[in-house]
Amino acid sequence: MTDQPNAYQIDAVGLVCPLPILRFKKRTKDLPSGTQVDFLADDPTGRQDLQALCDITGHHIEWIQEENDGVTRYRIRLA
């Protein structure tokens, strides 16, 4: 699970619910279907919130990686 140069990155570290998901929605709304997005967050409810958003939108979480300092990296393929 290494970074791919073509993945769009969204950094939501330091933001708390609902701001990480709102940032994700705002930054991905104009991206084409199939775009890979690396989403970084450290909000403890982030995983549940992101999964709920993906369930609604059809986006797919390809993998989740725990990183340093409590940050989680999510690779999402947009629907």
Backbone conformation region of residue 13, classed left if phi is above 0, alpha if psi is from -120 to 50, else beta: beta
Which residue, chain included where needed, has tokens 């609604």?
56
Report the candidate in 8, 5, 4, 1 with the shortest Cα–Cα distance to residue 78: 8
Cα 42 versus chain centre, distance: 11
pLDDT digits (tens, 9 = 90+) for 13-29: 999 999 999 999 999 99
In angstroms, the Cα distances linking 28 to 10, 33, 34, 63, 70 are 9, 10, 11, 18, 24
pTM of the model: 0.89
Residue among 17, 40, 53, 71 flagged as catalytic? 17
Mean residue pLDDT across the chain:
92
In a domain, 1, yes or no: no
According to DSSP, the residues that pair with 36 across neighbouring strands are 77
Q: Could you say which residues of the chain have pLDDT below 70? A: 1-5
In a domain, 40, yes or no: yes
54 catalytic residue (yes or no): no
Which domain range does residue 15 map to? 8-77
Domains of the chain: total: 1
CATH number of the structural domain spanning residue 40: 3.30.110.40
